Amino acid sequence: MDRIAEFLFEAMLLKRVTRTGYQFLGPGKESVAEHTFAVLCVAWTLARMVREADEGRLLAMCLVHDLPEARIGDLNSVQKQYVRADEDRAVADMTDGLAFGQEIHALLDEFNVGQTLEAKLAHDADQLAFLLDLKSLSDMGYAAPEKWAGYVQARLQTPAGVELSDNIAKTEWDSWWLKIFIDKNKKSQ
C-alpha cells in the first residue's frame, strides 16, 4: 500500500510542473495537471461524439498521457531538439512495484503508437485542450496564440476532432456566460 501512496504523491507533482510551450505565447500558463483535466473534459465529450470508442480506455489513456512528466518535466518543441527524455525509463521506475503498473505502460504505449481509435481520440483531445486555450487567449486580444492555432488544428486525426475544432474556432470563449448575462437582463426588463 505504501507504493500506491508514493505513486499518488508523485502524480500530484503534475500540479506543480509547468507546461513550457506557453513561453512562446507570451500570456497564459498552465500546469500539466490543469492540462490533463482539460484533456479529460475534451475526451469525455469526444466519447459522446464517437460512440464506438471505448470510453473507459480513452479516459484512462488521457489521464496517464503526461504522467511521465512528473519525472522528466514538460519539454517543448525547441527543447526536444536538444534534449532526449527517457520516458520509458521514467515510466518503468514510476510504476515499479505497482500491481497496475503494466496497465499504465500499455496505455502509454497505445497513446504513443497512436493507431487505435482511442489513441487517435486521446491525441485529438490533447490538441483540442491546447486549442481551447489558444482561442481563449486570442479572443482576449493576444496575437501570438492565433498564429499557432493552425498548426495545432493540422495535427488533428479524427473527423470528430476536426468538427470540434471548427466549432471552437467560430465560438467566442466567453459566449456561454454572455448568454447568461443577456438572458438575465431580458428577464429583468
Task: Spell 111-150 as b/e; 16+ CB within 10 A means b.
Answer: beeeebebbbbbbbbbbbbbbbbbbbbbeeeeeebeebbe
Q: Which pLDDT score is estimated for 146? A: 83
pLDDT tens track, the chain, 189 positions: 799 999 999 999 999 999 998 887 777 789 999 999 999 999 999 999 999 999 999 999 999 999 999 999 999 889 999 999 999 999 999 999 999 999 999 999 999 999 999 999 999 999 999 999 999 999 999 888 888 899 999 999 999 999 999 999 999 999 999 888 887 777 766
Q: Which pLDDT score is estimated for 182? A: 80
pLDDT in tens, 56-100: 999 999 999 999 999 999 998 899 999 999 999 999 999 999 999
Instruction: Give the residue from 175, 155, 153 showing the smallest Cα distance to 164.
Output: 153
Q: Which pLDDT score is estimated for 172? A: 95
Domains of the chain, CATH where assigned:
2-188 (1.10.3210.10)
Distance of CA 147 to the CA centre of its chain: 20
